[in-house]
Amino acid sequence: MDLPRSFTIAESGHRIHNPIDDRKLAQLGRALRLEPGTTALDLASGSGEMLCTWARDHQVTGTGVDISAAFTAKAKARAEELGVAGRVAFVHGDAAGHVADEPVDLAACIGATWIGGGTAGTVELLQRSLKPGGLMLVGECYWRLDPPDEATVKGCHAQGRDEFRSLPGLVDHFGDLGYDVVEMVLADQDGWDRYSAAQWLNIRRWLDANPGDELVGQMRTVLDQGRANYVRYQREHLGWGVFALMRR
């Protein structure tokens, strides 16, 4: 049980595996007015940057669960580096169906809503770990611009145009699920570049250092095709944001 190696190669240098940059992640932490001692659960926590920096800046405590052994190891190392290893723990495992032993103040899934079978299922999953009145954070894609054709839909890795909603459609969807959207921080295109363009140097350096690896052909395609799709389709058409929700 692990993330395919192609992802850990492409995102080997990333601290944040999403188009929200460190500045916006800090902005989100401040916007939520987190009290010292806030307890948190982060499903699909990646390299742990959110929990680690919020433990440092807001004295949050909590657990992150991620299916990537490599990212989980990075998260633990980051916690040590920031001096917060006593406040946050990172577990390597499948977060699908994961519910906290004790209900938490803040439950998050930032950019991995497939773990609950989509937005609605992930909201339901997170709710099972939340204290009454708690905050939920969901990171999700939306169409920044309507995709004009099927090539754009495919180039954005969507199964169909219905896979994502517009921004108003997504906010309405959270409302239909019974939640108030109480805050949001949206990625901008510079943030997308930090997530997507930052993969190109990771991959190119890996290709140079590992000419005999069985993944060379695949990673060359990821670099060439991924970059073309990104500049042609994703950068213009895909939006992404973190939405803070409270149950009505």
Ligand X SMILES: C[S@@+](CC[C@H](N)C(=O)[O-])C[C@H]1O[C@@H](n2cnc3c(N)ncnc32)[C@H](O)[C@@H]1O
Q: Residue 127: name the closest of 145, 153, 109 by CA.
A: 109
Which three-class secondary structure state does DSSP give residue 106? strand
Q: Which of 32, 55, 95, 203 binds ligand X (CB under 6 A)?
A: 95
Residue partners of 188: CB distance under 8 A and separation at least 6: none
The region of 29-37, 62-70, 196-204, 218-226 touching ligand X under the rule CB under 6 A is 62-70
CB under 6 A: which stretch of 29-37, 44-52, 121-129, 173-181 binds ligand X?
A: 44-52
Rule CB under 6 A: say whether 222 interacts with ligand X.
no
CB of 181 to ligand X, least distance (A): 19
Please give the distance of CA 72 from its chain centroid, rounded to a whole number.
Answer: 14
Closest residue by Cα to residue 201 from 7, 6, 12, 4: 12
| Of residues 116 and 147, the one with the C-beta less far from ligand X | 116
Task: Report in angstroms how near the CB of residue 81 gets to ligand X at its nearest.
Answer: 16
Answer yes or no whether residue 110 interacts with ligand X by CB under 6 A: yes
Selected binder of ligand X within 28, 34, 62, 71 (CB under 6 A): 71
Least Å distance, CB 208 to ligand X, is 25
Contact 37, 62 (CB under 8 A): no
Taking CB under 6 A as the rule, does residue 96 contact ligand X? yes
| Structure token digits, residue 12 | 């080997």
Q: Please identify, using beta-carbon distances, which residue of 99 and 168 lies nearer to ligand X.
A: 99
Can you tell me the distance from the alpha carbon of 122 to that of 127, in angstroms, rounded to the nearest whole number?
Answer: 8
Amino acid at 147: P
Helical residues (DSSP H) of 5-136, grouped into ranges: 5-10, 22-31, 49-58, 69-81, 119-127
Which residues ranging from 163 to 192 are in contact with ligand X (CB under 6 A)? none
Please identify which residue in 10, 28, 34, 44 interacts with ligand X, judged by CB under 6 A: 44
Whole-number minimum distance, CB 15 to ligand X, in Å? 7
Q: Which residue in the set 21, 66, 105, 140 belongs to the binding site for ligand X (CB under 6 A)?
A: 66
Which among 108-116, 177-185, 199-207, 208-216 is the span making contact with ligand X, rule CB under 6 A?
A: 108-116
Rule CB under 6 A: is residue 126 a binding residue for ligand X? no
- The residue whose two tokens read 């006593």 is 86
Segment near ligand X (CB under 6 A); pick from 109-117, 140-148, 169-177, 216-224: 109-117
Confirm or reject binding of residue 9 to ligand X (CB under 6 A).
no
Q: What is the largest CA-CA distance in the chain?
A: 56
- Nearest Cα neighbor of 94 from 115, 123, 124 is 115
For position 136 contacting ligand X by CB under 6 A, the verdict is no
- Contact (CB, 8 A) for 100 and 64: no
